[in-house]
Amino acid sequence: MRLYGIYKVKMEFEQFIIGREQLFYELLKGNVSDKNKMQEVRYLCDSIEEDMIEEVVLSKFGRMFETIEFNNGQYELTHSVKGTIRITLSPYALIVQCIGSRMLDLDLFIGLSEIDRRFFAVMEGESEWGWLKPVKHTKEKEKSTMVFQ
């Protein structure tokens, strides 16, 4: 089982975080119930809209998964070959359990990245993190990013 916290970075902080992903990971990893950390997460991340997640689950994943259930605030998506994804919504994160093939993770990341490019995932218990949609640099963005470093 793989456990992810998936956060939506505020638009105004996206360029600041690019190149500082490891520091952002250090903030997000582990338990964010610490009030100091939660305050920073609220500052850097948008709240997760339940309607948006419902739309993604039903429209994007409805074609790929055989069963989709919603019980006690948790979506459970099941594919007979790949496995099961459980998605729980918290105010500033999606808490996702993937049980089965790593293809589940890929399906999830592609679906979420199609609705917004600012999702950032942290895999609990592992040192894995990153943008769900890879950041593309143009020459202008590279120049403006260099100024901040």
Nearest to 111 by CA among 68, 70, 61, 77: 61
Lowest average pLDDT, out of 12-16, 49-53, 104-108, goes to 49-53
Per-residue pLDDT tens for 38-82? Answer: 888 899 999 998 888 888 888 888 888 999 999 988 999 999 999
The CATH number given to whatever domain includes residue 119 is 3.30.310.250
Domain that holds residue 133: 2-148
| Number of domains, the chain | 1
pLDDT at 131: 94
Cα angle for residues 20, 21, 27 (degrees, 5° grid): 100
